[in-house]
Chains A and B, each alone.
Chain A
Amino acid sequence: MIKSEFSTPQRQSKTGLLVLFANTVFEFLKAMWILLVVFFLRGKTMDVFWGIGGILLVLLGFGVYSYLKYRTFTFYIDEEQNEFIVQHGILNKTKTVIQLHKIQQVNLKQNIIHRIVNVYQVNIDSAGSEEKEAVINAVSKEVAMALKAKLLDNERVEVVDNSVEVEKEIEDKPFLKIDLISLLKVGITSNYAKSIGLLLTFFFTIYENLNHAGADEFIDGSKVEDFIQSNTEVYSILLATALLFTIIFIINIVRTLAKYYGFKIAKHKGSLIMSYGLIATQSTILKPEKVQIVKITRNFFQKKLKILEIKIKQTINDDSKQDKSTIEIPGCNEIERDEILQLIFNEIPEKGEKLKPNIRKLLFSIFILIVLPLTAYLSIGNWFANSIFEYKSIAIVYTIFVLIGLLFGFKNNSLFINNRHIIMQSGAWDVDNEIIKIEKIQAITTSQLFWHKSLNIGSLTIHTAGGNISFQLGKFDKINQYINLWLYQIEKNESNWN
C-alpha cells in the first residue's frame, strides 16, 4: 500500500489557529454577552477601564489556550490497522480511533471565519454500535479534500471518490435549486410553533440574565401596565397578537433564509448531494439505499402557493444524532418532488389501497380533548369557583378549534398500501405523507384492546431504522392480511436489509 500524506500525525492548518481562537472567543461571548453589556452600560468610567484591561487579559489567555490546543491536536491514518486516529487535549489527552470501514459520512463545513481564512472544518461520522465522531476544526482546502477522499476510499458501499469533482458538479449542474421566492414562501407558511418556542426561550434567557445581573430597573413593568390601562383590553390583545405574528414571520423568514439560502441538489453516481446555508455552508451526501422514511409535508397555504417540504429520514444509529440523520428539503414544487422520489425509490410511489381508521378514533379523541376538559371546567365553575366562567369565551374558542382540528385530522388520517410501499397520511393542518419501502421494515407490532376484538379493530406500528409509523384503530383482519403479505415479501429474500 502506498503511504499517503496522512500516515504520520499532523496538525491542522496554521491559519486555522485564527479559527480556533475566534471559536473560543465566540463561545465566551455567547455565554457572557448580557453580563458584558450590562457591565459596560452601568459601570463607572474607572470600572470600564479595568474591564477593558480584563478583557484584553482574557483574550491573551484565549490566544495561548488556542495555541496549545492547536499544538496538541493531531490526526493521522494508521494504514496497518486501517484506523483513523485523532489525538487532542492539553492536559487530559483524548485519543479517538475510528475504523475506516465504519466511516459513514465525511462532511466539509465552513462558517464565516473559515471562509475568511479559507480553511474547512471536517466532520467524520461513523456507524455501528460504538458511536463515534471526529471533528477537525481547520484544515486547508487541499488537505480537507484529500482527507475526505482518502477516508471514503475505504467505504464498502459505492462512494463519491473525487470530492473536487463533486464540488464542481454541484456548482455546474444542480438538478434542483431552491430560489429566494420559494424560501420566502416556506418562511411565512411553516414552523410557527418552532419560532414561538425560540422567541420564548430568547425572552426567558434575557430576562433571567438581566435578573442575575441585578438590573431590575431595566425592566420597567409599569410602562406596559400603563399602556394596557390607557387602551381598551380588546385593542391591546389585538395589537399584541399582530405584533407577535409579525415577529414570528420575521423570525421564520430569517431562520429559513439563514439555514437554506442557496439550496442546491445535484446527482452524483446515484447519490444526492446537497449544499445550503447563508452563514455556514453545509454539504451533505444522501445515499438512496440508506433512506428509511420520506416525509412530504404540506399545509393549506403551501398548497395554494404550490410548494411542499420533504424530510428524508436515514438510518439512526443513536438517538442523540436524530437531527443529523434527517435531511430537510424546503420548498420544492411537485415536479421537483417527483424527481427526488424517482431518485430515491426508482419510481414514484403510488397511493394504493386506502385504509381508514374506525370512527371510534375520532370519538375517543373528542372525548379526551373536548368532553373531559369541558366537564372539568363546568364542574369546577359550578361547584368551586364561579369566577372561572368569566373566561368562557376561551373555552368556546378552544372547543371550536380543537373540534375542527380533530375532524380534519380524522379526515386526513389514512394508510395507503401498494405492492412495494406503505404511505401513511396524517395531520390536521400540516398534512404529512410518510413513505416507507416495504423492505425497510425492521419489525411490526400490532395492538388490540380486548373489547375491540369483537369489533375487529386494532392498531399497527411499523418499525424502521429511521423511526416508527403508527396507524391506529383500523380494520384488524385487513391489517393482519397485509402484515402476512409484508412478512412474506421481506422473508422470501435471503438478503439482509440495508
Chain B
Amino acid sequence: MENFTNEPIDISALPRYEAVNLNALQPKYWNVILFNIAAIFLIIGIALAVIIYFVEEIHSMAWLFGLVYVLFLGFTFLLSKISFQKRGFAFREHDVIYRSGIIATNTMIIPYNRVQHVALHEGFISRYFDLAKVEIFTAGGDSSDVSIPGIKKEQAEDIKQLLMGKIQKQL
C-alpha cells in the first residue's frame, strides 16, 4: 500500500497521440498497389474490348468507352497515390496507431493490452517485394481490427514478436 499514490493527473502533460510522428509505408509498397491497379484494369479492359468487338451497334462509340476507361484509370491512380501517401503507423510503448483515409483522415488507436492476436500476412505480389502485412485483432469485432500493409518482412516479424511479447506479459 505504501507505493500507492493518487495525485491528480495533469491532462495537458499526457502523451499526445495526435502529435506522434508516423512512419510511412515502404516506398516499394507503391509497386504492389500499381500492380494491383494494372491487373484489375487489364481485366476490365479486355472485357470491354471483347464487348465492343462483338456488339457492332456500339463500334462508333468505342472512343467514348476508351475515354471513360482512361479517365477512370487516372482517377483510380490519383486516389491510390493520395491514399498511399496519407497512410502511416506508429508503435508506441503501450499502443499502436494507424492512420488512413483519402477525404477524411481516420486514426485508429489500439492499446496493446486489448490485442487478442496478431497475424502476419504476405500477399503473392508483396512477397516478391519482400513486404508483409501486420494484422492486429481485438475483441471489438471487425470494426476495431487493424491491418497495416507495406512493412518490410523482417520488420513485420519484429513487430509481431513485440506484440506477442506484450500480450504474453499481460496474460
* Contacts from A to B (Cβ < 8 Å): 315-316, 319, 441-450, 461, 463-465, 467-468, 480-481, 483-485, 487-488, 490-491, 493-497
Contact = CB atoms under 8 A, between A and B. Distances in A.
Given A480-B16, A484-B15, A491 B111 contact: yes
B101 interface: yes
Nearest to A485: B11
A480 B97 CA distance: 13
A104 to B, nearest CB: 13
Contact of B144 (A442, A447, A480, A481): A442
21 contacts: A442-B110, A442-B138, A445-B106, A445-B107, A446-B106, A447-B104, A447-B106, A450-B103, A463-B141, A465-B140, A467-B141, A468-B143, A480-B18, A484-B11, A484-B17, A487-B17, A488-B9, A488-B15, A490-B114, A493-B113, A495-B170
A321 B40 CA distance: 36
A443 B146 CA distance: 10
Contacts of A490: 111, 113-114
A441 B110 CA distance: 9
A485 B95 CA distance: 13
A485 to B, nearest CB: 6
Contacts, number: 101
* Residue with the greatest number of chain B CB neighbours at <10 A, chosen from A444, A449, A494: A444
Interface in B119-162: 138-141, 143-144, 146
A443 B113 contact: no
Nearest to A452: B104
A481 B17 CA distance: 9
Q: Give me the 4 closest cross-chain CB pairs, A-B, nearest first.
A: A463-B144, A442-B140, A491-B94, A463-B140
Contacts of A494: 113, 169-170
Contacts of A442: 110, 114, 138-140, 144
B171 interface: yes
A465 B104 contact: no
B17 A497 contact: no
Contact of A487 (B94, B107, B138): B94
Given A446-B106, A447-B106, A484-B15, A465 B139 contact: yes
B105 interface: yes
B14 interface: yes
B74 to A, nearest CB: 21
Given A443-B140, A491-B111, A496-B171, 19 more contacts: A319-B141, A442-B138, A442-B139, A443-B144, A444-B109, A445-B108, A447-B105, A447-B106, A463-B138, A463-B141, A463-B144, A465-B141, A484-B14, A485-B14, A487-B111, A488-B14, A491-B112, A494-B170, A496-B114
A444 B108 contact: yes
B109 to A, nearest CB: 5
A40 to B, nearest CB: 49
A446 B141 contact: no
A447 B111 CA distance: 18
Interface string B74-115: 000000000000000000001100000101111111111110
A448 B15 CA distance: 20
Contact of A496 (B14, B95, B113): B113
Contact of B17 (A443, A449, A465, A480): A480
Contacts of A441: 114
Contact of A491 (B9, B95, B104): B95
Contacts of B139: 315, 442, 465, 497
A483 B17 CA distance: 8
A463 B145 CA distance: 10
Given A442-B140, A443-B138, A487 B109 contact: yes
Contacts of A447: 101, 104-107
A318 to B, nearest CB: 9
Contacts of A497: 113-114, 139
A18 B102 CA distance: 62
Given A483-B17, A484-B14, A443 B110 contact: yes
A491 B106 contact: no
A483 to B, nearest CB: 6
